[in-house]
Amino acid sequence: MTADAVHPRTFGAGPSRRHALFAGLCLCCLPTLGRAAESFAIEEVGPGIFVRKGLIADATVDNDDAIANVGFIVGKTGVLVTESGGSLADGRWLRAEIVKRTDKPITHVVLTHVHPDHVFGAGAFVQDKPVFIGHAKLTEALSARGEFYRKRLIDLLGEDRTGPVVYPTMSVADTAEIDLGDRRLTFTAHGPAHTTSDLSMIDSGSGLLFPADLLFVNRIPSLDGSLRGWLTEIERLKTLGATRAVPGHGPVAVDLAPALADLSGYLTVLRDGTRAAIAKDVPIEKAVTSVAAEQRDAWALFDTYNGRNVTVAYQELEWE
């Protein structure tokens, strides 16, 4: 694991500790305590760059889907939101944190990819009339899945905490740059990898890379695009000139090289194990329990996502 990595067992212990904590409390306290200050503190990870670490958990009624690392960059001319949050409630929380710290206008909101924990906070920023920046394939992906995700989130959080599906108003097909007066943000639209709409960003003010879910740290990556493509895009991330990054999930900032090595280690084991299973005619139902099992202790939420990852990998690799 990376130098910055908290040992995964620490994360594994998190939810059970929280449950133990809640056991002695009345139910009405739960929603508030679910957003404990410790979990939701914002850290300044670079000059004018603020990040909140997402919970290493799945969306629950108590956590407002605040499971991704979200944050903002304060530039000379305005604020850019690096990730909007996992629900309208989460986005409102983030917006409140911004206005506490600066009275500059919120001019840009990045929608890093289609997944709900990265886009449903956007509704909280519509009032600011920012530019919503997304991958050129994001509109299509949101059209296909946005309402499905929204209904699922409404079942969990209720309509007023979920919010609308917000579409990008600026799309990036290859690369793009925006200027906040004293710093430039350079965007790269990636090929199919974690999803088919992954957008990364580099801040010229700090040199930090914001790869969103192209980089998971400690939490098991979830595959929803292309396994071979993701391994290719990892190589591309290495060429962008950054040494530190703010991952989509995990610590608020990490050294890039070891974090990418851990990620590509898992994806390589997933690829090679799936190929071996296909070669031996192991059926998919069996492969999901055996492929990459040796990685179990290295990743939080392994049992929730590894089987799905094998399924996606199997479908991609069986025709190669």
Contacting positions for Zn ion (CB under 5 A):
115, 213
Estimate to the nearest angstrom the gap between the alpha carbon of 281 and the chain centroid. Answer: 34
Report whether 310 contacts 288 (CB < 8 A): yes
User: Three-class SS of residue 284?
Assistant: helix
Q: Measured between alpha carbons, how far is 37 from 128 in angstroms, rounded to an integer?
A: 26
Closer of 64 and 213 to Zn ion (Cβ) = 213
DSSP E strand stretches across 89-193: 106-111, 131-135, 170-172, 175-179, 184-189
Contacts of 45 (CB under 8 A, 6+ apart): 51, 71, 206, 208, 246, 252, 253
Closer of 115 and 183 to Zn ion (Cβ) = 115
Closer of 68 and 80 to Zn ion (Cβ) = 68
Name the token pair of 117.
């924990």
Task: Kindly state the smallest distance separating residue 201's Cβ from Zn ion, in Å.
Answer: 15
Task: Kindly state the smallest distance separating residue 288's Cβ from Zn ion, in Å.
Answer: 20
Rounding to the nearest 10 degrees, give the CA dihedral for residues 149, 151, 153, 155: -150
Task: Kindly state the smallest distance separating residue 21's Cβ from Zn ion, in Å.
Answer: 28
Closer of 224 and 262 to Zn ion (Cβ) = 224
Task: Kindly state the smallest distance separating residue 212's Cβ from Zn ion, in Å.
Answer: 7
Closer of 114 and 317 to Zn ion (Cβ) = 114
Task: Kindly state the smallest distance separating residue 188's Cβ from Zn ion, in Å.
Answer: 17
